[in-house]
Amino acid sequence: MPVSLLDSRVPAVLLRIDRNPFHHGTLGAVRSLGRAGVDVHVVADCAGSPVRRSRFVTELHPPPPPGASRRDIAATLLRVARRVARPAVLIPMDDASAVAVGHLREELTPGYLLPRQPGPLAESVADKAELAGLCARTGIAHPVTLVPDSAAEAAAAAWRLGMPVVAKWSRPWLVPAGTGLRSTVIVRSAQQAQTLYRRSAEAGSRLLFQAFLPPGPDRDWFFHGYADRSGAVRAGGPGRKLRAQPRGAGLTAVGQWMPNPRVQELAERLAGELGYRGIFDLDLRREGAAGRYHLLDFNPRPGAQFRLFTDASGLDVVRALHLDLTQRPLPDPAPRPGRTFVAENYAPLTALGTRPGGRELAWHARDDPAPGIALWALWSRHVAARLLDRAPGTATVPRLPRPARPPDTRNPLPDDVRPVCDARPPADDEKASTC
């Protein structure tokens, strides 16, 4: 994309409250805007992250602490606004940030440029329990969801849905670090369901159970888009998840831009029905032979692999947001289906190959090599620490008990899928919600 298309006089501020040093989506946004000549300020904990090494970072700013109140988040952003000293495009990079900014919109303007989102919509779509209701009202397929009010109801809900079932905390951004709790768990017994429910106060939100939709080839999809000020979905597109971390239940390690009119129509209809404005990221799973696409997650922010959908003109959802909020025209779409995204720390062998449709690496880039170089030293230490943590004689998160009865044969768990709670996945995973 020609640099002149973006108004380089308007800086961008990226906000991430989640303390994840390996969040490659933040680096993607830094590079996307920095390459277009935009000053990029990052409000995040980047002390141990390769992101801080990017030559496209204009300035790093301390983030609000984990669990910060909206007042604290507003104070942090207003302090950054005074430092930047001119209106900036504000881009939340995680759910906690998106929810907070949705509530603080009036307080943050005119220091920041933000989409005109109706009410606290970001919080409604990010909340897993509320999303189920939104899908029911808009006619979007969604896994059958039950929200228990007691431990006994949790056990009954699990048996009613048929084991295994998917358990989710409705507001995963509230789950505190260091507790061993995961945003999503595959549950195989009524006892597991009760054990999880009893930790609801610790998790900070309601526990819900969803019918398990088995993974399989060509079943896991995502959609990244930007709904402009008129409501039209621009940039982005549908993608197929080829490899996930953890397997079958996590972030996209390898993904491919694939035309899919049904996913495209679903995304456009949902954004239109809700009146959504801004960047969004959907996770979907196709249901077996019936072929219906069920919406699993609606993330009101850029997905970590959004740079997969960089079209032939250089447009992606982050650039689309900047163009739209600065009253600049968006170029006509020029899709590049077949393009592949690889998070090389999760799929190093795939990163070594070439792809006929083109490829986007999460960390390595010829025009910005330092983050990719820094990644491997940091990642090696990270993996070594995780292995040491799991070694015999060290403290581990207790495993939930195996079921007393075999899984329901009507909906068996594939051999290559294991409960997310049976091991300690890396804490740096963006999420583990696509179960």
Are 336 and 311 in contact by the 8 Å Cβ rule? The answer is: yes
Residue with tokens 């001119």: 86
Q: What is the pLDDT of residue 1?
A: 56
Among 123, 84, 85, 87, which Cα is nearest to 108's? 87
pLDDT in tens for each of the 435 residues of the chain?
A: 554 589 999 999 999 999 899 999 999 999 999 999 999 999 999 989 999 999 999 999 999 988 899 999 999 999 999 999 999 999 999 999 999 999 999 999 989 999 998 879 999 999 999 999 999 999 999 999 999 999 999 999 999 999 999 999 999 999 998 888 999 999 999 999 999 999 999 999 999 999 999 888 889 999 999 999 999 999 999 999 999 887 766 789 999 999 999 999 999 999 999 999 999 999 999 997 668 999 999 999 999 999 999 999 999 999 999 999 999 999 998 999 999 999 999 999 888 877 777 899 999 999 999 999 999 989 888 888 778 877 765 444 444 433 333 333 333 333 332 333 323 333 333 343 333
Q: What is the pLDDT of residue 418?
A: 31
Residue 323: count of CB within 10 angstroms of its CB: 24
Q: What is the pLDDT of residue 245?
A: 84
Residue 191: count of CB within 10 angstroms of its CB: 17
Q: What is the pLDDT of residue 411?
A: 34
Task: Fill in the amino acid letter for 250.
Answer: G
The C-alpha torsion from 36 through 39 and 44 to 48, rounded to 10°, is 80
The token duo for 235 is: 């940039």
Per DSSP, helices labelled H in 326-422 are: 348-352, 369-390
Q: What is the pLDDT of residue 215?
A: 84
Q: What is the pLDDT of residue 431?
A: 45
Strand 59-61 versus strand 40-43 pairing type? parallel
Residue with tokens 């059958």: 144
Are 228 and 275 in contact by the 8 Å Cβ rule? The answer is: no
Residue with tokens 């077996």: 288
Helix axes 261-274, 128-138, angle to 10 degrees: 100
Among 178, 23, 143, 11, which Cα is nearest to 80's? 11
Distance of alpha carbon 435 from its chain centroid, rounded? 14
Among 117, 20, 14, which Cα is nearest to 57's? 14
Distance of alpha carbon 109 from its chain centroid, rounded? 26
